[in-house]
């Protein structure tokens, strides 16, 4: 992909994001994938069926998602090249733009720091509940701040680094196949009994597709933060996910903080290991520090995306 598609898509996302008015009118493209997944889960994940059958239907669901996402994107890519001629790259950048989440992620995390800085823990707690899956009702300021930084670092991979990686590697089919699988993982790729068999294929496929982007994303955070390499290498595997720990450990290392640790989901306490070293009393100013690292990490990706066409040529 020698055209500046990736750079233009990053620029569109940074400047425009996914406008709320547009979301209110048509939703977001991943909503289409979510509807496919929800329907498949409703009719294909029957508790009375064997785990083997539910796993097989889950595999078929993943195959359907890949066919729809990659196949549809390949068709649109071909139409761009046919109808837009020399401007095909711009059309493809516009079609890739919604799959990136630089601006959205920043805009979800920044208010948490602002509300904590103003002493409004209730607003901050409400904001953080929109981006994390843990129980947030009883979180104090350090708990809210840690949750925000953890979500920011993990989502740097899912929302920015990995989609960009797959756009560069596989064009429109690559980026939208990734978004389809990542959506499936977030909805059904869980270890609870209800989803364990049916969501197995979604979770494993997402692990494979995030393997390289997660490690590259961690390295980019370390570059952006000017350190954290030792902590990333030491603590990345402490995370339950084979991939999410890389960007989270990188952020913990570069900020000199301890993240993760004991947490509660649906009223059940989980004694997760700590990631990083230093203090675990995390505050609003630490979220601001994390956001600055995040912005520098995005800038590094911009530079890489701008250089890619030159390298390919």
pLDDT tens-digit readout, 265-289? 877 777 889 999 999 899 999 999 9
Contact 239, 260 (CB under 8 A): yes
Rg (CA), the chain: 20
Bridge partners of 274, per DSSP, are 260
Query: Cα 87 vs. chain centroid, distance in angstroms?
Result: 29
Distance CA 228, CA 218 (A): 9
DSSP annotation of 157: I
Q: How far, rounded to the nearest angstrom, does the alpha carbon of residue 54 sit from its chain's CA centroid?
A: 26
pLDDT at 22: 82
Tell me which DSSP letter residue 279 carries: B
- Distance, CA of 99 to CA of 28 (rounded, Å): 9
Could you give the number of structural domains in the chain? 1
Reduced to 3 states (helix: H, G, I; strand: E, B; else coil), residue 264 is strand
Cβ–Cβ < 8 Å for 157, 210:
yes
Provide the pLDDT for residue 313: 59
Which residues of the chain carry a pLDDT beneath 70?
Answer: 1-2, 311-313
Cα gap 299→305, rounded to integer Å:
10
Give the rounded distance of the alpha carbon of 201 from its chain centre. 18
Locus of tokens 């939703």: 27
The boundaries of the domain holding residue 27 are 5-312
């Amino acid at each position: 992909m020698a055209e500046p598609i990736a750079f233009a898509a990053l620029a569109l996302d940074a400047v425009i994001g996914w406008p709320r008015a547009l979301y209110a009118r048509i939703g977001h493209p991943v909503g289409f994938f979510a509807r496919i997944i929800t329907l498949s889960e409703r009719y294909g994940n029957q508790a009375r069926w064997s785990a083997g059958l539910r796993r097989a239907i889950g595999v078929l669901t993943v195959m359907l998602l890949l066919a729809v996402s990659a196949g549809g994107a390949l068709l649109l890519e071909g139409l761009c090249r046919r109808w837009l001629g020399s401007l095909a790259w711009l059309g493809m950048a516009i079609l890739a733009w919604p799959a990136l989440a630089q601006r959205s992620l920043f805009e979800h995390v920044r208010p948490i720091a602002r509300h904590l800085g103003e002493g409004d823990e209730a607003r901050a707690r409400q904001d953080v509940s929109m981006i994390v899956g843990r129980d947030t009702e009883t979180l104090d300021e350090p708990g809210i701040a840690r949750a925000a930084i953890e979500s920011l670092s993990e989502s740097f991979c899912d929302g920015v680094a990995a989609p960009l990686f797959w756009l560069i590697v596989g064009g429109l089919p690559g980026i939208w196949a990734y978004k389809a699988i990542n959506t499936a993982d977030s909805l059904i790729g869980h270890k609870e009994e209800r989803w364990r068999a049916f969501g197995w294929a979604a979770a494993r496929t997402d692990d494979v597709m995030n393997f390289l982007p997660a490690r590259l994303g961690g390295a980019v955070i370390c570059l952006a933060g000017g350190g954290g390499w030792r902590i990333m290498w030491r603590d990345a595997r402490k995370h339950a996910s084979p991939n999410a720990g890389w960007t989270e450990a990188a952020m913990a290392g570069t900020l000199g903080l301890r993240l993760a640790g004991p947490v509660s989901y649906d009223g059940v306490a989980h004694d997760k290991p700590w990631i990083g070293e230093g203090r675990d009393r995390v505050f609003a100013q630490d979220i601001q520090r994390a956001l600055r690292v995040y912005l520098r990490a995005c800038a590094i990706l911009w530079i890489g995306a701008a250089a890619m066409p030159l390298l390919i040529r």
